Amino acid sequence: MNVMLSAIDRICSAAAAVAAVLLGLLFALGFAEIVLRSGFGISLPIAVEYSGYLLVLVLFLGSGWTLTHAGHIRVTLLSEVVSDSIVRLLDVLCSVIALLISATLTVALIEYAYGTWVRGTVSYYSSETPLAYPQALLAIGPAVLTLALVARILRLLTGRVPEVKTAETAEPAP
């Protein structure tokens, strides 16, 4: 069990690290576009299109890691007034509901990407990028989140701590 849980943790961290790198790329792409356009009058043909792809990945790839680091928002009013054992039970229930939704989203995104691949749809930009690729990458984020929810449920059921507190960041919450 521990092997599996730590494997899922590593997948979550790796996906979040990739998201961080892609965020850096998103900045670099935007910066390159501004410099080239204002300095040399050249516009990168892929800038707008690829920043859109990078954006959806940045928003989703870190989702599983964010779950294990208590970063997703939930209403905690009820869990503050009931006993610890009920909190744990309720947490299992919520995690199972979230797992169902997350799995639905993951499967739907994979099917959507597959459908795009079968039809061979390409982007309407000049690059004519086959849209199945970014769409398939988009499905990875929810897939990792689904795994993180499985790990969370297993931890709750076996009396382990479901999430870790992280070092301070500028944005404790919105």
Partner 1 sequence: MIGAPIAVVIASLVVLLGAGVWVGFSLMGVGLISLSVFRDMPVATFLAFDVWNSLNTPEIVALPLFILMGEILFHTRLSESVFRGLTPWITRMPGRLLHVNVVGCTLFAAVSGSSAATTATIGRMTLAELKARGYNENLAIGSLCGAGTLGFLIPPSIILILYGVLSETSIIDLFIAGVVPGAMLAASYMAYIAIRVMLNPALVPDDQASATWMDRLKAIGELGPILGLIAVIIGSMYAGIASPSEAATIGVAGALVIALAQRALTRQTLALAFMGAIKTCSMIGLILTGALFLSKAMAFLGLPQAVAASITALDLSPFALILLLTVFYIALGCVIDGLSAIVMTLALVLPLISAAGFDQVWFGIFLVIVVEMSQITPPVGFNLFVVQGLTGASIGRIAKASLPFFLIMVAMVIVIALFPDIVTFLPRSMG
Binding residues (CB under 8 A) for partner 1: these are: 16-17, 19-20, 23-24, 26-27, 30-31, 34, 48, 51-53, 55-56, 58-63, 65-67, 69, 71-80, 90-91, 93-94, 97-98, 101-102, 104-105, 107-109, 111-112, 135, 138, 166-174
CA 70/CA 163 separation, integer angstroms: 6
The CA R_g of the chain, rounded to the nearest whole Å, is 20
Measured between its terminal Cα atoms, the distance across the chain in Å is: 35
CB of residue 165 vs partner 1: minimum separation in angstroms? 12
Q: Pseudo-torsion of CA 128, 15, 28, 43, nearest 10°? A: 10
CB of residue 174 vs partner 1: minimum separation in angstroms? 4
Nearer residue to partner 1 within complex by CB, 5 or 23: 23
Is residue 131 within 8 Å of 121, Cβ to Cβ? yes
CB of residue 63 vs partner 1: minimum separation in angstroms? 5
